[in-house]
Amino acid sequence: MRERPTFPRRGGKTKPVRIAFTPDGRLAYVTEGAGAGVSIVDVAKQVVIDSISVGRRPWGIAPSPDGRRLYTADGRSDQVSVIDTKRRKVIATIKTGERPNDLLYIP
């Protein structure tokens, strides 16, 4: 039997919300609303390979066209997290209005 992907639990909670893919389609980034993070999924193997902690209730997600940055709308933190995808780390946060829900990257 094939092993299914397992999403990390933070404080006993997880809730996959939205998904974005790398330009080559090899990785998927999944916002974990209740888990305050982004899970990184190897699409071919269908397994979670890493996770990145972001603000509270990340809902929206948008990659830059070159795949170097990823942005999450952290609804309960009233911010957008900016992630360096190579380092798999938040490198900045941008304050927003109340409860940002979704994102669209326009170069």
The residue type at 4: R
Query: Would you say residue 44 lies in a domain?
Result: yes
Q: Measure the CA–CA gap between 106 and 70, rounded to whole angstroms.
A: 13
Is residue 25 assigned to a domain?
yes
Strand partners, 79: 74, 95
Angle at the Cα of 28 from the Cα atoms of 22 and 30, rounded to 5 degrees: 125
Domain count, the chain: 1
> Which residues constitute the domain of residue 32?
16-95
State the average pLDDT over residues 8-37. Answer: 84
Could you tell me if 9 and 35 are in contact, meaning their C-beta atoms sit under 8 angstroms apart? yes
The radius of gyration of the chain from alpha carbons, rounded to an integer in Å, stands at 13
The answer as to whether 21 is a domain residue is: yes
Which residues neighbour 49 within 8 Å (Cβ) at sequence distance 6 or greater? 27, 40, 41, 42
pLDDT on residue 16: 85
CA distances from 9 to 19, 24, 77, 86 (A): 17, 28, 19, 23
Give 32-80 pLDDT, tens digit per residue: 888 889 999 999 988 889 999 999 999 999 999 999 999 999 999 999 9
Q: What are the pLDDT digits (tens) for 67-91?
A: 999 999 999 999 999 999 999 999 9
Residue 4 lies in a domain: no
Structure pTM?
0.87
**The pair of three-digit structure tokens given for residue 55, joined into one six-digit string:** 């603000």
